[in-house]
């Protein structure tokens, strides 16, 4: 008879044995304690911080873009109401237009300065610079609602020279002259209305820029 050769463990037998060994190792109290310590001291706090940062960033963005949208819309619509004579026709106060202009100008300059500071702090120099340039143009736009006076040609020129003015705004020479010489003619109203739409459209672009940006420090 031939010599008896001991049977070798097949891979199928060895694999369950290794799995059982690994399971016993992972079940060791020390290993469990280490895993729990990692979860409690590192993974859970890290996840919590990231979630809190996300919530804080969302809160900051929501507040800033809400202020941006409201202040731009208020400035544009106030200018339209004043120039169209809607304010004076709805009040017996002979100074109603002037009061509305003063209030609107004060509200816009105050809000745009606050918004600019927040954009600079949370979203960086580039967006901060873009907002300041835009805010200057909106200020010029609002001032055109007033009775024509000195400096008006410079305000119109600054608006039309603004590099980010939406391309759908194309004003004729007659419309440009009307913006300088009038605040109530039909030609002025047409040109002023289209510029107002441009202000709102550019404002929407800046709002989207804030939404797409990360928040500094988070």
Of residues 34 and 176, more confidently modeled: 176
**Would you say residue 41 lies in a domain?**
no
CA distance 47 to 24: 30
Could you report the per-residue pLDDT of 99-154, keeping only the tens digit for each?
999 999 999 999 999 999 999 999 999 999 999 999 999 999 999 999 898 899 99
Q: Which of 37-51, 98-112, 176-190, 198-212 has the lowest mean pLDDT?
A: 37-51
Quickly state the pLDDT bin for 188 (edges 50, 70, 90). Answer: very high
Number of domains in the chain: 1
In a domain, 5, yes or no: no
In a domain, 22, yes or no: no
Instruction: Identify the CA nearest to 145 among candidates 198, 89, 101, 196.
Output: 101
Helix, strand and coil content of the chain, in percent to the nearest 5, comes to 75, 0, 25
Q: What is the pLDDT of residue 40?
A: 67
Q: Global pTM?
A: 0.77
Q: How far is 25 from 192, CA to CA, in rounded Å? A: 78
Name the least confident of 39-43, 174-178, 195-199, 205-209. 39-43
CA distance 64 to 62: 6
pLDDT score for 38? 66
162 found inside a domain = yes
Is residue 44 domain-resident?
Answer: no
Do 36 and 156 contact (CB within 8 A), yes or no? no
- Is residue 104 in a domain? yes
No. of helices (H) and no. of strands (E), the chain: 9, 0
**Does residue 93 fall inside a structural domain?**
yes
68 domain-assigned: yes
What is the span of the domain harbouring residue 77?
64-212
């Amino acid at each position: 008879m031939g010599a008896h050769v001991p049977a070798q463990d097949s891979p199928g037998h060895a694999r369950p044995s290794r799995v059982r060994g690994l399971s016993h190792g992972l079940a060791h109290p020390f290993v469990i304690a280490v895993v729990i310590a990692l979860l409690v001291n590192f993974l859970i706090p890290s996840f919590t911080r990231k979630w809190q940062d996300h919530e804080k960033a969302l809160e900051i963005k929501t507040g800033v873009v809400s202020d941006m949208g409201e202040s731009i819309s208020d400035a544009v619509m106030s200018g339209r109401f004043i120039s169209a004579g809607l304010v004076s026709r709805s009040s017996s106060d002979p100074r109603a237009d002037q009061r509305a202009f003063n209030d609107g100008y004060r509200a816009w300059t105050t809000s745009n300065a606050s918004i600019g500071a927040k954009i600079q702090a949370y979203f960086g120099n580039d967006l901060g610079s873009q907002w300041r340039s835009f805010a200057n143009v909106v200020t010029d736009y609002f001032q055109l609602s007033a009775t024509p006076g000195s400096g008006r040609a410079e305000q119109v020129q600054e608006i039309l020279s603004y590099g980010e003015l939406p391309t759908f705004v194309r004003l004729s020479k007659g419309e440009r002259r009307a913006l300088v010489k009038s605040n109530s003619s039909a030609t002025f109203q047409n040109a002023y209305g289209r510029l107002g739409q441009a202000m709102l459209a550019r404002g929407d672009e800046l709002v989207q820029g804030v939404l797409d940006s990360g928040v500094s420090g988070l």
